[in-house]
Chain A
Amino acid sequence: MSDAAARRRGGAAGVLSGLVRAREFGLVIAIGAVLLLLVSLGKTQVFFGAGNLESVLRQIALLGVFSLGEAVVIIAGGIDLSVGSLICFSGMGCALLLSHLAGDLDQTVPVPAWMVLTTLLATVALGALVGGFHTLLITRLRLPPFIATLSTLAGLRSGAELVTNSATVSVPYPNFTALAKGLTPLWFFIAAAVCVAVLMRATVTGRQIVALGGNEEAARLSGLKVNRLKLVAYGLSGALAGLGGVLYTAYLGQGDPRTGQAFELQAIAASVVGGCSLSGGQGTVAGTILGVTLLQVLLNGIGLVIHSNSTLWQGVVVGVVVVMAVAMNAARQRRIAAA
């Protein structure tokens, strides 16, 4: 029985049953379990300390912004492997543009706000354009999404290095780096999540993207404008990667061609853990947010608990969590199909 069917049974019991059956419920339980484990290991004060909590929320926001875009592409039945390289490329573009606009201004004092705003919007637009380029490759050249975005995974990082001759571009202007200080990235993430949630749940386009991911041929035969929907999905993923590029550049205080390595895998992992199916047609914004949260709470928790080779254990644990999430998702789908 589907979640919607459970809710239709009516009453508080039905709503509760629906909530428990929702795929996000398992993620909430998992996050709760990790937090309980931290508490039982005596890490309450450290984990919930202001400094650490701020750090965890910032990492959730930084990963979450571009994972949302990846999730939309996966729901649409595609994949975007270029996200990490696009963050690098757009981040370098962001640093170059801001540096160009600021000219010889003192780097230790704030630049005029319009410069920061212009840079932010131009970088997001650059990301969206790259997303549009992916759509062209997929719809006009008929390249599989894997290949189309694989080409830019390699090309964009090299492009970023060529444009800057492999050098970093320093942009430590206080009002620019403030974009990634404190909880500011969280507000960007919340704003992005609200926009994507509204798109996916409250608009026809969003429902059509889900339908496209479920069965592209059926969507085409139903008269949906498949190419336009792909443009929305890949354009959104590119734009959010562009926003990620801005936030990471602000976080580092410089454009750095080494940034974003394997970020696409983190985004895919967060989406899959959050309930997106790699075969398309399934996944939610709430699930993706919870997937990102679970991964970052786990990563942080490992760092706090394991004091030897913690960075290596992080990789192992994330791998196990992804496998478990996919296995549980598959089991759930089998149950639904059998019902």
Chain B
Amino acid sequence: MTLWVPACVALTAILVGCTPREPVTDTTTSTTAPTPSTKAPATPAPAGKSILFISNANSPFWLAVKAGIEAGAAEFGVPARLELNNEGTVAGQQKLLEQALSQKDELLGVAISALRPDAQGVLDRLKQLKDAGVAVITVDSDCKPEYRQAFIGTNNTEAGVGLGKHAAELLPGGAKVCVFVGDKSAQNAKERQQGFEQGAGSKFSVLETYQDGVEPAKAKSNVETALQAHPDATLMVGLWSYNGPAIADVVQAQGKADKVQVICFDAEPGLLPKLESGQVKCTVVQRPYEFGRQGVKLLKALAAKDQATLDEMLKGKDVIDTGVVVVTQQSYPEFRKYLDEKGLKGS
């Protein structure tokens, strides 16, 4: 029996030794020390204080945000890190905010992607942070405006409209649609779907919206079920980042690629070859890299009450819309070039 201990240690060591072929950056406790910047920071950050980002869940989408945070940390001269809400729940976010509150004296600012816009526990803690002098913004997904100083992200409804319009161009006669998402009650899911239906028009009817609870295997089996339950569906829409590749995989495997079109949001690494080959007709991509980079810049400016920077970024509003890009097979090379320039594997 005692042989199990060294055996476990040895096998774990082997496992750890097998790093991914393409190394990725750490997202769990990312940089706290800025690397030398190519641009001189406008104002030095107060010594020892840092910026904290809190995700809504854990997905490769946040790798791009983290790359932007690192770039922002280097560019604007302030340590910044990302904490992933691995639980993917409001309670998980609340816990991370409580940790932030216990370290409030070391924080310049906090940026959070709110899972629910009206989750009172989260909102209360954001207020406590604000009252303690910590700058608070939302990125990616907004909360009630009175609890944060600004929001950086995308108008998900408009993004949905963009995808819907593209669907209408792709299938001018309309289509019966199945929609796939992790949690359809999440704010960005609701807005994306509403926008899609609005943009696609009355010739498109949604047959069913499938939820998978952010479980990749369930995401695929949902598509298998949908293809059987709705043989008349000719369009499949993935609302969250992993849904697009899952749909494309199943549609291809079941030999229905000529009958069923696939469109989605975001661009996980697994989606890129499918986009390039035309298996996925189009995706609407946000700019998560900018969420991170501009988030660092804005929080630093809010903490330092740097009015010039705030005016330049916010232009008298409290929302920065970083916009979206519709990527198709035709525009893929340009999008790939953007990813390569930023050192990203997805977006």
A residues contacting B by CB (< 8 A) are 46-47, 49, 51-52, 55, 59, 62, 93, 96-97, 99-100, 102-104, 125-126, 129-130, 132-133, 135-136, 139-140, 157-158, 161-170, 181, 227, 231, 248, 251-254, 256-262, 300, 303-304, 307-308, 310-312
Contact = CB atoms under 8 A, between A and B. Distances in A.
Given A55-B224, A167-B60, A312-B211, A161 B18 contact: no
B28 A136 contact: no
Contact of B58 (A62, A93, A166, A310): A166
A55 B26 CA distance: 36
Q: Which of B7, B21, B86, B226 lies at the interface centre, i.e. has the most chain A CB atoms within 10 A of its CB?
A: B21
Closest 10 CB pairs of A and B: A303-B225, A167-B24, A132-B4, A52-B228, A96-B18, A55-B224, A100-B18, A311-B211, A166-B27, A93-B15
B207 interface: yes
Secondary structure of the A side of the interface? Answer: helix
A316 to B, nearest CB: 13
Q: Which of B27, B217, B226, B242 gathers the greatest number of chain A CB atoms within 10 Å?
A: B217
Nearest to B5: A136
B278 interface: no
Given A165-B25, A166-B60, A251-B220, 4 more contacts: A55-B228, A100-B21, A169-B20, A303-B229
Contact of B213 (A256, A261, A308): A261
Interface string B43-65: 00000000000000011101100
Nearest to A164: B20
Interface string B246-269: 000100011000000000000011
A319 B345 CA distance: 40
Contacts of A300: 225
Contacts of B28: 161-162, 165-166
Nearest to A102: B21
B217 A231 contact: no
B313 interface: no
Contacts of A248: 217
A97 B12 CA distance: 12
B291 interface: no
B58 A304 contact: no
26 contacts: A62-B217, A96-B20, A100-B19, A102-B21, A103-B21, A129-B4, A136-B1, A162-B28, A163-B15, A166-B28, A166-B58, A166-B62, A167-B24, A168-B60, A169-B20, A252-B217, A256-B216, A256-B242, A257-B58, A259-B216, A303-B225, A304-B229, A307-B207, A307-B208, A310-B229, A311-B210
Q: Which of B7, B84, B221, B270 has the most CB of A within 10 A?
A: B221
B7 A129 contact: yes
A298 to B, nearest CB: 12
Contacts of B249: 253
A160 to B, nearest CB: 9
B308 interface: no
A49 B86 contact: no
Contacts of A252: 216-217, 220
B141 interface: no
B15 A168 contact: no
B24 A304 contact: no
A262 B5 CA distance: 27
A170 B225 contact: no
Contacts of B8: 129-130, 132-133
Contacts, number: 145
Interface residues of B, number: 53
A303 to B, nearest CB: 4
Contacts of B15: 93, 96-97, 126, 163
A46 B229 contact: yes
Nearest to B213: A261
A259 B59 CA distance: 11
Contacts of A62: 217
Contact of B217 (A100, A136, A164, A259): A259
Interface of B: 1, 4-5, 7-8, 11, 15-16, 18-21, 24-28, 58-60, 62-63, 84, 86, 207-208, 210-217, 220-222, 224-231, 242, 249, 253-254, 268-270, 345
B84 A307 contact: no
Contacts of B25: 165
Contacts of A100: 18-19, 21
B270 A254 contact: yes
Nearest to A90: B15
Contacts of A260: 215, 217
Contacts of B27: 165-167
Nearest to A181: B253
A122 to B, nearest CB: 8
B266 to A, nearest CB: 13
B212 A311 contact: yes
Contacts of B242: 256, 258
A165 to B, nearest CB: 5
A166 B216 contact: no
Contacts of A262: 213, 215
Contacts of A93: 15, 18
Contacts of B269: 168, 170
Nearest to A136: B4
Contacts of B217: 62, 248, 251-252, 259-260
Contacts of B215: 258-262
Among B18, B58, B62, max chain A CB count under 10 A is at B18
A311 B222 contact: yes
A315 to B, nearest CB: 9
